[in-house]
């Protein structure tokens, strides 16, 4: 999935009414809301959404609100302070409504809003991300380049406005990221801003090459050049911070624990979480041993993983193979009755832009305000500066790409967003959280294998397990790097030796752990979903009952995207809690 800054993280907000499909879930008893309180709550939510879109106009555009095209948030010191105060004011307003007069649905929605605001305040104020982490900032012109919401001249005009506002936004980022900063944060900033500058000067120009209007083209050339120069200047600024860079990036145990509670409502002690992650890694390693005994008898697990990794797409055409995989995967989901597909939309596959190549694959889902817009499944190419051997290693194996396609499209993120876009509530259509989305997509990988994907082929199973072990290593690296003194080299060795990833992937994944401590959400979310499925299906035919899985999947996805403990509380009819 793409890095956060979009609908999955910085826009992780409130959701739909917390109910699930009729007859499928055990929801909390619903009491009749008092008209005054119900009206107050509805008004508050409506005002919150509009206020939030106004405060985050770049994300509003991503969500399909084109009245915000070309605008950036106010990232100045005053603007950041105003945003913190806005969040606190809305939280206070929500708390002031008499909770005793809210029905179960509104109470659920209120708890979600609390969690979202708490998560926002954590990153803004507690972790101070705007002054520390370049990935907190969102510079992505993809909406104007990829989405056919208007003709090319219209989108060129909108892009030009975006480019005209970028220098001021970049200047605010430059002022905020003063240093000293961790080396890993400087590295990712330089890997983002410089390539994006080059992308504006080359690829963006090609996108609008056929627009003939001379006045529009002149303004585009002017503003695009200024935007590219501003990003290049931001790149130079990041490079200048090398002089004062530090190695330590760790959040520390206290801050890390606050992170997972504020954002995901998980309060499990870190030592227990770590043991759960280790147990899941051992489970997956045992399964890998079993698959390799058939696939590569007499070989080590590393040799077995390397054999599977060597089976590359024909002509190294990952984009072409991914397109075919989506056809096959959708057919499998339909034939097996895995989950309801609520529509006819398809995801288009394309190569991701070079400035975002640190994401090997990610989905840009259909925006909720534009349900007819296509979604794009982006598959990255290797970095051309790498050695030939490293480039070849970066190309996904067929079995690995299969489960990446499961994760991103069928029945992963793309399908999950088809459900959230159809929520009866505007909040359910707009906002989905990190652990909910990544937990679901990662859960889908193993679930599809269990449902029969691959017909028992050990190489297919190895592809699934390779992705699972990578997420296990993320989980353990996040805890280790930020709470236990693990070094980036130790994390790299974990991915390489215990997760059986290749050299390039191991290096990239370890680096990500420094600037994305929440990437433990993949495994953490998966474990919570598997436990919830087991408990929910226990009284509906058993945990291995495939028809119950379909009911469970539809019920789970009907919630939009809240913290998973809240979903558990609603589906199990019990107080919200994090259960693994």
What's the pLDDT score for residue 295? 98
User: Largest Cα–Cα distance in the chain?
Assistant: 72
Tokens of 233: 């200047």
Contacts (Cβ under 8 Å, ≥6 apart) of 203: 353, 354
What's the pLDDT score for residue 3? 38
What's the pLDDT score for residue 210? 95
Residue with tokens 């399964």: 287
pLDDT by residue for the chain (580 residues), tens only, comes to: 433 333 333 333 222 222 222 233 333 333 444 667 888 999 999 999 999 999 999 999 999 999 999 999 999 999 999 999 999 999 999 999 998 999 988 888 899 899 999 999 999 999 999 999 999 999 999 999 988 999 999 999 999 999 999 999 999 999 999 989 999 999 999 999 999 999 999 999 999 999 999 999 999 999 999 999 999 999 999 999 999 999 999 999 999 999 999 999 999 999 999 999 999 999 999 999 999 999 999 999 999 999 999 999 987 889 999 999 999 999 999 999 999 999 889 999 998 876 566 567 899 999 999 988 889 999 977 766 777 777 777 788 999 999 999 999 999 999 999 999 998 777 778 889 999 999 999 999 999 999 999 999 999 999 999 999 999 999 999 999 999 999 999 999 999 999 999 888 899 999 999 999 999 999 999 999 999 999 999 999 888 888 999 999 999 999 999 999 999 999 999 999 999 9
Q: Which of 464, 492, 333 is nearest to 404 (CA)?
A: 464
Tokens of 330: 């959708």
Q: Helical H runs in 177-310?
A: 183-199, 205-207, 214-240, 253-264, 270-295, 301-309
Residue with tokens 């959701």: 15
Using CA atoms, how far residue 346 sits from 12, 172, 231, 273, 330, in Å, is 24, 38, 34, 37, 10
Residue 560 contacts residue 420 (beta carbons within 8 Å):
yes
The string of pLDDT tens digits covering residues 139-148 is: 999 999 988 9
3-state helix, strand, coil in the chain (%, to 5): 65, 5, 30
Contacts (Cβ under 8 Å, ≥6 apart) of 549: 338, 447, 451, 533, 537
| Residue 361, helix vs strand vs coil | strand
User: Within 13 Å, how many C-alpha atoms sit on residue 386's CB side?
Assistant: 18
Residue with tokens 């592809």: 463
The full set of domain ranges for the chain reads 142-244, 257-572
| Residue 345, helix vs strand vs coil | coil
Using CA atoms, how far residue 130 sits from 194, 275, 281, 361, 514, in Å, is 19, 32, 34, 26, 16
SS3 for 179-206 is CCCEHHHHHHHHHHHHHHHHHHHHHHHH
Contacts (Cβ under 8 Å, ≥6 apart) of 554: 20, 21, 24, 339, 340
The string of pLDDT tens digits covering residues 216-252 is: 999 999 999 999 999 999 999 999 999 999 999 999 9
pTM: 0.91
What's the pLDDT score for residue 475? 98
């Amino acid at each position: 999935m793409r890095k956060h800054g979009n609908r999955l993280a910085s826009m992780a907000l409130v959701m739909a009414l917390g109910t699930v499909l009729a007859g499928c879930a055990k929801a909390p008893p619903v009491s009749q809301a008092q008209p005054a309180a119900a009206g107050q709550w509805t008004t508050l939510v409506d005002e919150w959404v509009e206020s939030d879109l106004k405060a985050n106009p770049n994300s509003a555009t991503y969500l399909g609100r084109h009245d915000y095209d070309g605008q950036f948030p106010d990232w100045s010191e005053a603007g950041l302070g105003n945003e913190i105060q806005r969040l606190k004011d809305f939280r206070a307003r929500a708390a002031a409504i008499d909770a005793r007069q809210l029905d179960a649905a509104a109470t659920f929605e209120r708890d979600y809003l609390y969690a979202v605001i708490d998560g926002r305040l954590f990153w803004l104020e507690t972790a101070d991300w705007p002054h520390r982490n370049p990935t907190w900032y969102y510079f992505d012109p993809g909406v104007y380049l990829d989405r056919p919401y208007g003709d090319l001249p219209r989108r060129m005009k909108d892009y030009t406005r975006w480019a005209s506002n970028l220098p001021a936004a970049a200047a605010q980022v430059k002022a905020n990221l003063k240093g000293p900063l961790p080396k890993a944060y400087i590295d990712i900033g330089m890997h983002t801003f410089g390539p994006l500058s080059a992308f504006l000067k080359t690829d963006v120009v090609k996108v609008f090459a056929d627009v003939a209007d001379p006045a529009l083209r002149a303004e585009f050339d002017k503003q695009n050049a200024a935007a590219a120069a501003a990003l290049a200047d931001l790149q130079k600024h990041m490079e200048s911070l090398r002089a004062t860079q530090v190695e330590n990036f760790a959040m520390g145990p206290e801050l890390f624990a606050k992170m997972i509670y504020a954002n995901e409502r998980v309060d499990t002690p870190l030592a227990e979480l770590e043991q759960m992650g280790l147990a899941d890694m051992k489970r997956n390693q045992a399964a890998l041993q079993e698959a390799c005994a058939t696939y590569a008898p007499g070989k080590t697990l590393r040799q077995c993983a390397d054999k599977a990794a060597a089976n590359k797409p024909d002509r190294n055409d990952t984009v072409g193979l991914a397109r075919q995989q989506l056809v096959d995967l959708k057919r499998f989901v339909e034939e097996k009755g895995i989950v309801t597909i609520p529509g006819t939309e398809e995801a288009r596959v394309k190569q991701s832009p070079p400035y975002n190549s640190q994401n090997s694959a990610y989905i840009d889902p259909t925006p909720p305000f534009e349900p007819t817009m296509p979604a794009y499944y982006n598959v990255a190419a290797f970095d051309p500066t790498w050695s030939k051997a490293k480039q070849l290693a970066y190309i996904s194996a067929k079995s690995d790409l299969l489960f990446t396609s499961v994760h991103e499209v069928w029945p992963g993120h793309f399908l999950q967003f088809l459900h959230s876009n159809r929520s009866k509530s505007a909040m359910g259509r707009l906002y989905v959280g990190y652990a909910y989305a990544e937990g679901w997509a990662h859960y889908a990988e193993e679930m599809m294998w269990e449902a029969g994907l691959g017909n028992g082929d050990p190489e297919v199973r190895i592809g699934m397990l390779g992705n699972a072990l990578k997420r296990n290593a993320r989980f353990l690296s996040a805890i280790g790097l930020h709470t236990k003194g693990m070094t980036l080299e130790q994390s790299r060795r974990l991915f390489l030796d215990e997760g059986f990833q290749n050299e390039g992937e191991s290096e990239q994944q370890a680096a990500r752990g420094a600037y994305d401590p929440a990437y433990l959400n993949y495994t953490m979310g998966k474990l919570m979903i598997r436990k919830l499925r087991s408990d929910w299906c226990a009284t509906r035919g058993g945990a291995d009952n495939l028809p119950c899985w379909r009911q469970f999947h539809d019920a789970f996805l009907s919630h939009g995207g809240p913290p998973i403990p809240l979903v558990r509380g609603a589906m199990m009819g019990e107080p919200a809690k994090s259960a693994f």
